[in-house]
Amino acid sequence: MNIIRIKSLIDRWKRIPDNITKMQEAIGRIESRQILNASLDEISDSEFKVYSQWGEDGIIQYILDRIPIINKVFVEFGVEDYTESNTRFLLKNNKWSGLVLDGNKDNVEYIKNDTSVYWAHNLKAEHIFITKDNINSILISNGIPQDLGLLSIDIDGNDYWIWDAINCIKPRVVITEFNSLFGYKSKVSIPYLSDFVRSKAHFSCVYYGASLAAFEYLGNTKGYSLVATNSAGNNAFFVRNDLISNFRVINSHEAYKFSHFREAKDSDGNLSYLSIDEQRDLISELNVVDVEKNQIIRIKDIDF
C-alpha cells in the first residue's frame, strides 16, 4: 500500500466523527419535524437525543414550538465541555445564541477551541464558579435579555439556591436537574454552601441538588408551572405562567420518575451499582433543608 493510499485512508478515518455528527443532526431534524404537530399523552413522549444526555433535545423542541419566543437566547450552567448538553442542538439546529458557564477552566477552553460551535455559531463560554451572590452580575454583564427563551440549570449542587437567587431575568422556559433520591413528596434541598462540590460533599456523589417537589414549589413562587420531566427521571421542565395555555400543568407526584441510572460510588471512587434504598442509606444521616418550612432535617426523615 503506497503512502498516498495510506494518507487517503487516514483522512477518511478522521472524517468519521464529523460524518456521524452530521447524521445525528439530520436524524434530529427529522424527529423534530415529526413531533411538532403530534398529539402526545405526555410531553416526555417527544423525547429524542442528539446532544442531550437523555431525551431533552426532543422535549425542548416540543415545548418551544408551542410558545412564542421574542429573544432566541439561552443560558446553560454546568455544561462541562458542551459535547453533551441541553442547548447544543438548539444552537446548531435552531440557530439560537447563548451563554454557557462551567467551573472547570479546561472545559471552557475546550468549548472555545471547538470550531463546530464556537466559530460557527453565536456562543459565548465563560469559566466561573457560580454562586447565589454572583449569578445576577454574571447574567447582566453578559447582556442577557430579561425575557430570554430558555435557562438550563445543572450544576450538581446548589441548583435550587441559584434559581432562587436569579432576579434579573425571566426566562420563558426553565430546565432544572432534580435529585430523584429525595422522592416526590418533600420539598428539600441540600443546604446552601457557596463552594459546594458534589464529589467533596460525600464520597458517594449522590448527595446534591434538590427534590422535584422543591423545584415545583420554587417555580410556583417565581411564576412558573411544571409541565414535564424526562423519562430518565432527572430533569424537570417549567413554562412561565403567562405562556402556559398550550400545556397541561402537572404536579411533582404526577411528574416524578425515579432515575434508574446508578451513579453512586464507593469510597475508592468506583461505581457501586447500588439500589435506591442502598443509595439513600449511604447518605441517610446527612442534612437537607425543607425549603417551605426553612427547617433542617436528616435525609432518613424525609417523606419519600
The pLDDT assigned to 200 comes to: 95
The pLDDT assigned to 29 comes to: 75
Regarding predicted confidence, which is higher, 257 or 260?
Answer: 257
The pLDDT assigned to 231 comes to: 93
The pLDDT assigned to 9 comes to: 36
Domain boundaries, given as residue ranges, for the chain: 3-301
C-alpha cell at 262: 446508578
C-alpha cell at 45: 413522549
Distance (Å, whole) CA 174 – CA 240: 8
Query: pLDDT tens-digit profile of 40-62?
Result: 778 989 999 999 999 999 999 99
The pLDDT assigned to 6 comes to: 45
Query: pLDDT tens-digit profile of 95-122?
Result: 999 999 999 999 999 999 999 899 999 9
Name 74's bridge partners.
98, 150
C-alpha cell at 87: 442547548
> Is the pTM above the cut of 0.75?
yes
CATH fold of the domain at 3-301:
Rossmann fold (3.40.50)
